[in-house]
């Protein structure tokens, strides 16, 4: 509905004509016209303000795209923690969504690292922890590795090529290098869970067209009263964004998004979504044939400088009724069960901050342990 001076004047005229009262006096008419002018001015200011927000968002998107891409070096001495915690002082008018995307994090990660900090009105002037430190998930460090509870993707670059086998046969091998990149993601809802499994990258598409699956079409139709069977590539409201990486997992892909605030949430129908600036970078780095895995580790153990740490995340799909037992099983598999201070581990499991936390006896040897 258009709300402008002409519409409101027409509405006033209709109200007046439909009334059995006498026509309004000149003074009343002037008052009404003045009110209409005021309302129009307010509406214009509102529209201008929204436009200003749009321009500000465009500027912000450009700033996000200019954010440096960090390649973390992998250690050869048994350490498997990358990055380093940072701190940030909240400024007036900032939300956690603003702060998080600036550092390639999500509002959820920042909130949980700071014990449930409010997303929308974080306390101005408070110094918070930025969880820019991670334990690498267990398993082969090859290609794309997504840890579902963590809602974070790790990309181990390398090259794909033929590898000779006995009998003259060949198969594709992936040879990795000594670095890793990491990106936050959005995942499938509880009723459309992102699956666990291995895959390979089978294709890549710029400006992908979204052919809406029938079950999703029916869901949108029931929810909104209307739906589309096909969303063209490159349009602003295409949920695939501008880049899509196709996988050998049927019906699943890694792609961008038209709603960046959904990164760090379970909002998709199972696919993996990245910030627009992140999917663009990953798209041009990953090669067709690259291997990958979707894994599920709500608890990860890691080493750095002889110290043992644990990183605990929410069990978003409810796979493990008790994270304590899962943590103990993981510790046994790694052979570190006898090195753990159980009180520290229990505290870390209770808090679920997603921040690597020292769990051995005694003081944390890391001098930069703020927030642990």
The distance between the two most distant Cα atoms of the chain, rounded to a whole number of Å, is: 103
Which entry of 159, 163, 171, 255 is annotated as an active-site residue?
255
pLDDT in tens, 68-117: 999 999 998 889 999 999 999 999 999 999 999 999 999 999 999 999 99
Superfamily of the domain at 139-295 = L,D-transpeptidase catalytic domain-like (2.40.440.10)
pLDDT in tens, 202-258: 999 999 997 766 666 566 666 777 667 677 788 888 889 999 999 999 889 999 999
Q: How far apart are CA 21 and CA 353, in angstroms?
A: 67
pLDDT confidence band for 37 (50 / 70 / 90): very low
Mean of the pLDDT values across residues 160-184? 71
Active site residue 255: yes
User: Are residues 136 and 180 in contact, defined by beta-carbon separation less than 8 angstroms?
Assistant: yes
Q: Buried b vs exposed e over 294-306: b needs ≥16 C-beta within 10 Å?
A: bbbbbbbbbbbee
Distance of CA 240 to the CA centre of its chain: 14
Which entry of 159, 220, 269, 271 is annotated as an active-site residue?
271
Report in angstroms the alpha-carbon separations of 21 from 11, 161, 210, 295, 363.
16, 87, 58, 73, 84
Q: How far apart are CA 297 and CA 309, in angstroms?
A: 15
Mean of the pLDDT values across residues 148-152? 97
5 has a pLDDT exceeding 60: no
């Amino acid at each position: 509905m258009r709300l402008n001076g002409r519409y409101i004047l027409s509405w006033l005229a209709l109200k007046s004509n439909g009334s059995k009262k006498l026509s309004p006096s000149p003074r009343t008419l002037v008052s009404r016209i003045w009110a209409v002018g005021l309302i129009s001015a307010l509406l214009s200011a509102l529209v201008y303000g929204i436009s200003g927000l749009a321009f500000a968002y465009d500027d912000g998107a450009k700033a996000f795209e200019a954010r440096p891409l960090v390649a973390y070096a992998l250690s050869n001495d048994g350490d498997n923690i990358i990055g380093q915690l940072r701190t940030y002082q909240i400024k007036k008018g900032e939300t956690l969504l603003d702060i998080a995307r600036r550092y390639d994090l999500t509002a959820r990660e920042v909130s949980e690292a700071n014990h449930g900090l409010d997303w929308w009105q974080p306390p101005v002037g408070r110094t918070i922890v930025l969880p820019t430190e991670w334990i690498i998930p267990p398993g082969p460090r090859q290609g794309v590795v997504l840890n579902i509870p963590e809602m974070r993707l790790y990309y181990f670059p390398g090259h794909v090529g033929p590898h000779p086998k006995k009998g003259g046969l060949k198969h594709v091998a992936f040879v990795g290098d000594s670095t890793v990149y990491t990106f936050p993601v959005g995942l499938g809802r509880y009723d459309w869970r992102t699956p666990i499994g291995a895959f390979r990258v089978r294709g890549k598409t710029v400006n992908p067209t979204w052919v809406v699956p029938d079950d999703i079409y029916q869901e949108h139709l029931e929810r909104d009263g209307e739906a589309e069977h096909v969303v063209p590539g490159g349009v602003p409201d295409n949920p695939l964004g501008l880049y899509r990486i196709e996988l050998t997992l049927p019906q699943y892909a890694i792609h961008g998004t038209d709603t960046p605030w959904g990164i760090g949430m379970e909002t998709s129908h199972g696919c993996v979504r990245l910030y627009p600036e992140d999917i663009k970078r990953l798209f041009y780095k990953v090669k067709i044939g690259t291997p990958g895995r979707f894994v599920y580790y709500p608890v990860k153990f890691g080493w750095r400088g002889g110290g043992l740490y644990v990183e605990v995340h929410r069990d978003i799909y409810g796979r493990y009724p008790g994270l304590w037992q899962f943590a103990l099983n993981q510790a046994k598999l790694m052979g570190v069960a006898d090195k753990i201070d159980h009180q520290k581990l229990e505290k870390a499991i209770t808090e679920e901050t997603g921040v690597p936390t020292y769990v051995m006896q005694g003081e944390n040897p890391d001098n930069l342990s703020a927030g642990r």
